[in-house]
Amino acid sequence: MLEVMVENLTKSYGRGLFEREKKIVLKDISFVLKKEKITALVGVNGAGKTTLIKLIMKIIFSDEGKIFYNGLQEAAFKEMSFLPERPYLYMHLKGREFLEFMGKLSFLDDLTIKERSLELAKKLHLEKALENLIKSYSKGMQQRLAIISTFLARPKMVILDEPFSGLDPFGRKIVKDLLREISEKERTTLFFTTHQLSDVEELAQEVLLLDGQKIKFHGGLQDLKKRNKKESIFHVLLEEYEDIEILHHLFSVSSLFSAEGDFNYLFGPFTSLEKDFFLAFLYREKIKIREVREEKKTLEDLLYPEGGERR
């Protein structure tokens, strides 16, 4: 098991002809990647997601702050694996040859490479293509091959930058199934980025949101769902009512429309408390209620209530 702790991390890039100007990308951020959890890193374009990943992998270095790997500052690369956003594959090699090469880089023996490659290739429906040249692969097949190479050595932590890029719906499903299985059975910590929040809802247990150089949210997906429940809004649909003008003055009316020849009145939006107060009034006045509609905020609404800060 591997735990990564980021402490007061700041990173900037030079700008201008002599790079004298500094653009701060990440500013004093701290968090812990929990062991054996699947954590999604989300944020708008330019929020610093790839920069953060490169810092954790020590491809680049921070201006300030520290990163600890199981309490040590020395990176545990033997226990980690990384899938970049645009993985480079050797097009002149066969799929099998590429996996053999990547396995050798992790000091795996021939039998382990063969067995593990075939195991993962079957799960990603790529076993029949392993003897074909990579240059004949589609974009989705190349992405699945890169994902297989990432998990060859059974790493304890895997960082994936946009792992679903180039995958069709079926490819996305089987990759998600594989990630869940590896997380559960091999007790692997997964940290991935995505722009599709549906991926977060389907896969992640923890969410880390970067925005405005800072961590805007870090917590469990269930925390977000609880927040979603609390922040639901409601509309109440009434049948035609002779004193509708009185209700109109007392409560807001969203729209007036005709359905099946009868006028119906839609009131709202209400918070949960406002909805309860309005319904109590209707029950007391014996006004017929046609429907109560609940509209839950989406994950996009919760994570990006103002659309996010784009840079």
Q: How confident is the model at residue 259 (pLDDT cuts 50, 70, 90)?
A: very low
pLDDT in tens, 195-220: 888 888 889 999 998 988 899 888 88
Q: How confident is the model at residue 252 (pLDDT cuts 50, 70, 90)?
A: low
pLDDT in tens, 264-285: 667 777 777 778 888 888 888 7
* Domain range summary for the chain, segments of one domain joined by +: 4-227, 232-295
Q: Where are the alpha helices (DSSP H) in 2-85?
A: 49-56
Q: 3-class SS at 129?
A: helix
Q: Count how many Cα atoms sit within 13 Å of the Cα of residue 45 in the half-sphere of its side chain.
A: 1
Pick the residue with more confidence: 245 or 90? Answer: 90
- Token pair, residue 304, equals 């990006």
For the cut 50, the answer to whether the pLDDT of residue 258 exceeds it is no
Whether 150 contacts 83, CB under 8 Å? yes
For the cut 90, the answer to whether the pLDDT of residue 235 exceeds it is no
Pick the residue with more confidence: 278 or 308? Answer: 278
Q: Where are the alpha helices (DSSP H) in the chain?
A: 49-56, 95-105, 110-123, 139-150, 169-185, 197-203, 221-230, 244-250, 272-285, 299-303
DSSP string of 183-229, one letter each residue = HHHS--EEEEE-S-HHHHHHH-SEEEEEETTEEEEEEEHHHHHHHHH
Q: How confident is the model at residue 78 (pLDDT cuts 50, 70, 90)?
A: confident
Q: Which amino acid is at 200?
A: V
For the cut 50, the answer to whether the pLDDT of residue 104 exceeds it is yes
Report how far Cα 2 is from the mean position of its chain's Cα atoms. Answer: 20
Whether 236 contacts 289, CB under 8 Å? yes
Q: How confident is the model at residue 310 (pLDDT cuts 50, 70, 90)?
A: very low
pLDDT in tens, 111-168: 999 999 999 999 999 999 999 999 999 999 999 999 999 999 999 999 999 999 999 9
Find the helix packing angle between 110-123 and 139-150, rounded to 10°. Answer: 130
**Segment among 4-18, 45-59, 157-171 with least mean pLDDT:** 4-18
Q: 3-class SS at 268?
A: strand
- Looking only at the bridges linking them, the beta strands covering 64-69 and 4-15 are antiparallel
Report how far Cα 61 is from the mean position of its chain's Cα atoms. Answer: 24
Pick the residue with more confidence: 267 or 226? Answer: 267
Give the C-alpha separation, 296 to 227, whole Å: 10
For the cut 70, the answer to whether the pLDDT of residue 226 exceeds it is no
Same fold, 4-227 and 232-295: no
CATH assignment, 4-227:
3.40.50.300
- The class level of CATH for 232-295 reads alpha beta
- Token pair, residue 128, equals 């029949």
For the cut 50, the answer to whether the pLDDT of residue 261 exceeds it is no
